[in-house]
A and B are shown apart, each in its own frame.
Chain A
Amino acid sequence: MNVHAIKAIYRFEMARTFRTLMQSIASPVLSTSLYFIVFGAAIGSRMVAIDGVSYGAFIIPGLIMLSLLTESISNASFGIYMPKWAGTIYELLSAPVSWLETVLGYVGAAATKSIILGVIILITARLFVDYSIAHPLVMIGFLFLTAVTFSLFGFVIGVWADSFEKLQIIPMMVVMPLTFLGGSFYSIDMLPDPWDKIALFNPVVYLVSGFRWSFYGISDVGVGISFAATLGFMLACLAIIWTIFRTGWKLKT
């Protein structure tokens, strides 16, 4: 195992984060805080409680997931896309580094950033809304698993993209709508038939549901199913990345 390479990539990526603190941390924290102010404190105070949880507290897991998904994808996709764009990918491709070491470096850094962001948002939420965490270990597990899984997904997007526009298409056109429609702001039970059934095809539902269960013990789908679905998606992303490096798709000619 080329541990020095993993460290080098990880530190390089983290250094980029600290060079761009406003963009990496401050900006998503600010936008999520606005959600808390508008939906949590302002509108939320006039909404009825859902399954005994105040609306302001109910949306916290969903909002954290929203940030976690978008930032994980953004961090990882940008991390691998930039060397491709700048041409410095030659160094990575010519280095004695395996696909797994590359992934550990890039995805590890992207997931770390997302987890830091998630924790900051969680702390920030406390300023606006009271909440409790019923299963803290499960919450940490979901936070970690989701950050890693969607950083892997972001890595795939970064390899696939050959323009900045493509880099944004999946996060903006697919992930963001799925997250909004994935029960971040409501319970799936509140949807009329057949939309409550259709919603179950949205993978984000399982993430939000499982994460919310770790906070309040309530969920739209079983927490085991949520965990299995996320794990399955992570394994699928890993398989895709392994194939990418084995074939050199979009990396080597």
Chain B
Amino acid sequence: MQPIVSVQTLNKTYAGGFQALKDVSLDIRKGEIFALLGPNGAGKTTLISIICGIVNPTSGTVTADGHDVVRDYRAARQKIGLVPQELHTDAFESVWDTVKFSRGLFGRPPDPAHLEKVLRQLSLWDKRADKIMTLSGGMKRRVMIAKALSHEPTILFLDEPTAGVDVELRQDMWEMVRGLREAGVTIILTTHYIEEAEEMADRIGVISRGELIVVEEKAVLMRKLGKKQLTLMLQEPLGAIPAGLSGEPLELSDDGQSLTYTFDAQADETGIAPLLKRLGEHGVDFKDLRTEESSLEDIFVSLVRGGRA
């Protein structure tokens, strides 16, 4: 199936020489929720900004629904809605006027019924006549989402949508995103809240220092993240792992005092019971044990630092 968004060997070097994106290639599938994770300054916003036409690429190509975002920008941009990270709003405009403006700007004829539906979904209908400057931060965030949805995009970019919002709005937003996905909208969200990606995404991409280092189905990534470690504190230090246990995923600490066994927590068989039995057979006794699970955050940090989870 043709990707709804296709990014090919995209590079971006800013005027000051900073290379924000390095040969990024990425295909977004139609109808999925794709979460782009990365620390601050990793290149998430630059990537989104290039796709949406706000930043010029240095090299590479991007298509949205088959349309090149530079050469065929008009067709490409009609498909795209963007909720930027910063709260950029027209302070003196009313909610209704600003949403109406956005719909017109994207070339759509007036449709008060659609705008009403969007505003009601976002609990903004009662605020439609209010000036944006009078709204709270959370409400302004909703207005920005309403603006992005005003022209009925089929691809929606949410750049850090829940940054600085309260729990209620975050829940509402997740609910809305699910609803949009059910309506066929492809959603690409950037976040550094890993739990948000875990909650929402079908696939996850991790970007660091301008490079896309992982793109994976969430379920697959979760299996990787599901790795657990069993650490056995030994009665007697070992000089080396016994030869009969060399096939096991065991790691001996430098001081020989502990053995670490890595296993898949979500597998039907963890292999712990047979391992303990075999350790006993090889005369390896232990005085204590503990299990640890790599958190999503551990894995993410490890990936970002260029290591392994």
Bound together, the chains give a CA A8 to CA B150 distance in angstroms of 13
Interface segment out of the listed B29-37, B49-57, B270-278: B49-57
Interface segment out of the listed A82-90, A124-132, A230-238: A82-90
Q: Indicate if A221 sits at the interface (CB-CB under 8 A).
A: no
Q: Indicate if A91 sits at the interface (CB-CB under 8 A).
A: yes
Q: Indicate if B245 sits at the interface (CB-CB under 8 A).
A: no
Q: Are A96 and B106 within 8 A (Cβ)?
A: yes
Q: Are B104 and A253 within 8 A (Cβ)?
A: no
Bound together, the chains give a CA A193 to CA B76 distance in angstroms of 61
A163 to nearest B CB, angstroms?
A: 18
Q: Are B105 and A253 within 8 A (Cβ)?
A: no
Q: How many residues of A contact B (CB 8 A)?
A: 26
Contacts of A96 in B (CB 8 A): 73-78, 106-107
Q: Are A90 and B88 within 8 A (Cβ)?
A: yes
B106 to nearest A CB, angstroms?
A: 5
Q: Which of B49-85 contact A (CB under 8 A)?
A: 52-56, 73-78, 80, 82, 84
Contacts of A12 in B (CB 8 A): 93, 97, 101
Q: Are A8 and B105 within 8 A (Cβ)?
A: yes
Contacts of A248 in B (CB 8 A): 56
Give per-residue flags for A72-98: 1 if the beta carbon is below 8 A from chain B beta carbons, else 0: 000000000000001110111111111
* B48 to chain A: closest residue by CB: A94
Q: Are B89 and A88 within 8 A (Cβ)?
A: yes
Question: Which B residues have a C-beta under 8 Å from some C-beta of A?
Answer: 14-15, 52-56, 73-78, 80, 82, 84, 86, 88-93, 97, 100-109, 147
Q: List 23 A-B contacts (CB under 8 A).
A: A2-B74, A4-B109, A5-B105, A8-B101, A8-B104, A9-B105, A11-B101, A12-B97, A16-B92, A19-B92, A90-B52, A90-B88, A91-B102, A92-B105, A93-B52, A93-B53, A94-B53, A95-B105, A95-B106, A96-B78, A96-B107, A248-B56, A252-B55
